[in-house]
Amino acid sequence: MADITMCMNEDCPSKQSCYRYTAIPNEHRQSYADFMPDLLEGKCENYWPIVAMTKGKRFIRQVNENQSGKGQK
């Protein structure tokens, strides 16, 4: 359940590796925004990489970078 403002931008190239887009919405109350990446730089200041836990250590899973050599850091 996300206590964040989630992203609704379906055209974003980084949506599959961004927590704001992929988080599970709060069933009772959820805020949304249509965050837009900077067109010149191709980066979004609201991009939030997906973070996972493994063996007690944090790492950033960069799905797009692993699959296509692209992604935001």
Torsions phi, psi of 12, nearest 5? -70, 130
The pTM (predicted TM-score) of the whole model is: 0.66
Which residue has tokens 């055209």?
A: 11
Structural domain boundaries in the chain:
5-68
Looking at 11-73, list the stretches that DSSP marks H as alpha helix, in order from N- to C-terminal side.
Answer: 19-22, 63-68
Query: 68: helix, coil or strand?
Result: helix
Please report, in tens digits, the pLDDT of each residue of the chain (73 residues total): 568 999 999 999 999 999 999 999 998 999 999 999 998 988 999 999 987 655 555 554 544 444 444 444 4
Give the Cα separation of 19 and 25 in Å (integer): 11
Give the Cα separation of 73 and 70 in Å (integer): 10
Beta-ladder partners of 49: 18
